[in-house]
Amino acid sequence: MSESPELVIQVSTQGAVRILTLNRPTALNAFTAAMLASTREALAEAAADSSVRAVVITGAGRAFSAGQDLGDPLVKPDPSPGAAPKDIGHLLDGYYIPLALQLRAMPVPTIAAVNGVAAGAGANFALGCDLVIAGESASFIQAFSKIGLIPDCGGTWLLPRLVGRAKAMQLALLGDKVKAAEAVSIGLIARCVPDADLMSEAMATAQKLAAMPSRALAETRRLIDQAMDQDFEDALRVEAMMQSQLGFAHDYSEGVQAFMDKRSPQFKDR
Ligand code: LHQ
């Protein structure tokens, strides 16, 4: 039975928070090309809607995402003799790279609420979000080496930055499963919470971020990622340039005025 594209990603909104739910639970929310396209569309809609000030991404059922759907004809090798091997790089060029770049360029913070196993590209899609909060039964697996591939969807870039070279090598080479609590202790993710509290904790964090100055948060996210490849002085100069720009914006005046007035600020820039 073919799946309806709009149903493989469920989209809902609570206040200023857009919630995207990966929704192919019988295949552990593995990504097909249609689902990757729907995810991109849902992120683009969230980015274009100025009432959205934070995005939460989670999975339906017992998994966050098992990564690429290995049964998808686009990637499944044809075992018949003489069949031409498939160029799976096309799927990265056409879907995963644009998705990873889009996630990073979102004008508002993204939170992965990891409700279960996150494997392969599913793990790295979660790790590409700005904050990762996992339920205690969730786990992360760099499944790639088990099928003769390298970590994609940003994995080779993200892993050493998150956990350092030694752990990155362990996770990527051995494909070891890391449970949520260990993922916090090695710095792979930000928080682990009881399963029952996952969505309420993710939503509370999203709502907190939604009330903050989105543009300053967007520049903070960008500068932190960029700083990994800069020397100290370059980072200082880029900070100064960005601070100068933000100083002209509404949210800075509002933040300072609210502090002086001893009231809550009403941020609106994006
Ligand atoms: C699945 C999948 C799956 C389809 C579970 N596909 N059905 C980019 C570009 C091009 C090519 C290739 O890849 C990439 C990026 C990548 O993401 S590569 C990595 C792809 N992912 C994997 O290799 C992970 C494969 N899955 C697993 O290792 C396990 O299923 C995990 C550890 C995720 C969960 O294990 P269990 O909890 O024991 O569940 P299970 O294995 O029994 O799976 C449940 C069902 O989901 C089962 O179907 P069935 O009909 O038997 O109930 C699986 O076949 C299906 N499923 N992952 N990626």
pLDDT band per the 50, 70, 90 thresholds, residue 6: low
Mutate to test the pocket of ligand 1, among 22, 62, 64, 70 (most ligand atoms within 8 A of CB): 70
269 CB-contact burial (10 Å; exposed 0-12 / middle 13-18 / buried 19+): middle
For ligand 1, say whether the CB of 36 is within 6 Å of any of its atoms. no
pLDDT above 70: residue 159? yes
Which residue, among 134, 181, 198, 186, has the nearest Cα to 159 in the 3D structure?
Answer: 186
Q: For the residues 163-182, what does the mean pLDDT come to?
A: 97
Instruction: Look up tokens 């994609």; give the residue.
Output: 152
Higher per-residue pLDDT: 181 or 5: 181
pLDDT band per the 50, 70, 90 thresholds, residue 5: low
Q: For the residues 246-254, what does the mean pLDDT come to?
A: 89
Residue-level pLDDT at 270 = 85
First-to-last C-alpha distance (Å) of the chain: 41
Q: For the residues 178-191, what does the mean pLDDT come to?
A: 98
d(CA 111, CA 203): 9
- Ligand 1 centroid–CA 28 distance in Å is 7
For ligand 1, say whether the CB of 120 is within 6 Å of any of its atoms. yes
Which atom from ligand 1 is nearest to the alpha carbon of 62?
Answer: 37
d(CA 29, CA 22): 6
For ligand 1, say whether the CB of 77 is within 6 Å of any of its atoms. no
Cβ atoms of 227 and 172 closer than 8 Å: no
pLDDT band per the 50, 70, 90 thresholds, residue 2: low
For ligand 1, say whether the CB of 35 is within 6 Å of any of its atoms. no
- Ligand 1 centroid–CA 184 distance in Å is 24
Q: For the residues 210-234, what does the mean pLDDT come to?
A: 93
d(CA 43, CA 56): 10
Residue-level pLDDT at 232 = 86
Nearest CA to ligand 1 atom 13: 68
Residue-level pLDDT at 86 = 86
Nearest CA to ligand 1 atom 45: 27
Residue-level pLDDT at 236 = 87
Q: What is the pLDDT of residues 107-126, one digit of tens each?
A: 999 999 999 999 999 999 99
Q: For the residues 231-237, what does the mean pLDDT come to?
A: 88
Which atom from ligand 1 is nearest to the alpha carbon of 92?
Answer: 9
The CA R_g of the chain, rounded to the nearest whole Å, is 20
Percent of the chain with pLDDT over 70: 99
Nearest CA to ligand 1 atom 1: 27
Residue-level pLDDT at 252 = 87
pTM across the whole model: 0.94
* Main-chain dihedrals φ then ψ at residue 165, nearest 5 degrees: -65, -45
For ligand 1, say whether the CB of 68 is within 6 Å of any of its atoms. yes
d(CA 9, CA 21): 6
d(CA 215, CA 200): 25
Residue-level pLDDT at 91 = 92
pLDDT band per the 50, 70, 90 thresholds, residue 153: very high
d(CA 105, CA 269): 16
One DSSP character per residue, 11-47 reads: EEEETTEEEEEE--GGGTTPBPHHHHHHHHHHHHHHH
Which atom from ligand 1 is nearest to the alpha carbon of 121?
Answer: 17
The distance of Cα 154 from the centroid of its chain, to the nearest Å, equals: 11
pLDDT above 60: residue 1? no
Which atom from ligand 1 is nearest to the alpha carbon of 146?
Answer: 23
Q: For the residues 28-33, what does the mean pLDDT come to?
A: 96
Residue-level pLDDT at 8 = 94
Which atom from ligand 1 is nearest to the alpha carbon of 122?
Answer: 17
d(CA 213, CA 209): 8
